[in-house]
Amino acid sequence: MKKMIVLAISYLWINVVFAQTGSCCAAPDNFAAFSGDIAFVNMHIDPLPFNFISEKGKLKKIKCGDGKEANIFEFKSKKKSNKYLIVVHEWWGLNGYIKDMSEKLYGDLDEKVTVIAIDLYDGRVAETKDSAGSYMKNLDPKRAESIMQAVIQNCGDNAQIATIGWCLGGGYALQTSILAKEKAVACVIYYGFPETDTVKLKQLEANVLMVWPNKDKWITVTVVDQFKADMLLLNKNLKVEEYTADHAFANPSNPKHNAEFAADAYAKSLTFINANFNEK
């Protein structure tokens, strides 16, 4: 009885902390709740205009199961390959910076992996933090899932799929890996909200690398510890790279940017993705 009381108190305490930190949103679909947090909004500065032009990447449209089309920016592997990296944007949308990062990943993977940057906002790109908050808040989870499913299907039946994303995209990178099931080999989450539904998380086949800044006021130690516990319980492979940094430290346009840590996290992410591709 005493043990049951202690467990009940612990469960209650965790849920109280989640509510206080704005982390009541179990799935990243609800990361949108942060759009109402003034501190979260104000820690981002409006991105400088960047017109990305690429000779290697192409904007394409693919059909979705909901009858609509989705936008992707694709960097096709030089030689035929079943390896794919799906890149999920931050709350700004599929802007030039994400396309540029996708091209960098493509090059650093020796152009042997097809890199696909997906567009969850259906062509809308935020130029201010206010519009970014609005787009994130109004992102329809069902539409997002339809887009992710379409991209996974577009990769083919024998695909090996890795995912990577930042902030909002970090959470959706995990969701994409869950949806990809046995095709999923690796998932890199940069300060994104993890899945807390263990029934859903049980479907995850990918190994996960979580890049976590321990000064993050939204993806808190409580959130990360719960994710660790859930992954351990389900016998899933999770590695957490912890940095003494703040949310969005990897984004050069963010006031909390840390160039040294960002370079280190990128190198480890690249190694992680490569290693998991090579395992199959």
Percentage of the residues of the chain whose pLDDT score is greater than 70: 86
pTM reported for the whole predicted model: 0.87
pLDDT tens, position by position, 126-163? 999 899 999 999 999 999 999 999 999 999 999 999 99
Contact 71, 123 (CB under 8 A): yes
Residue 35: its pLDDT value, please? 67
Q: Which CATH superfamily is domain 2-278 in?
A: Alpha/Beta hydrolase fold, catalytic domain (3.40.50.1820)
Residue 16: its pLDDT value, please? 31
Nearest to 158 by CA among 48, 62, 84, 253: 84
pLDDT tens, position by position, 162-178? 999 999 999 999 999 99
- What are the boundaries of each domain within the chain? 2-278
Contact 149, 65 (CB under 8 A): yes
Question: Terminus-to-terminus CA distance in the chain, angstroms?
Answer: 48
Residue 280: its pLDDT value, please? 58
Instruction: Give the model's confidence band at 10: pLDDT under 50 very low, under 70 low, under 90 confident, else very high.
Output: very low
Quick one: tokens of 226? Answer: 């719960």
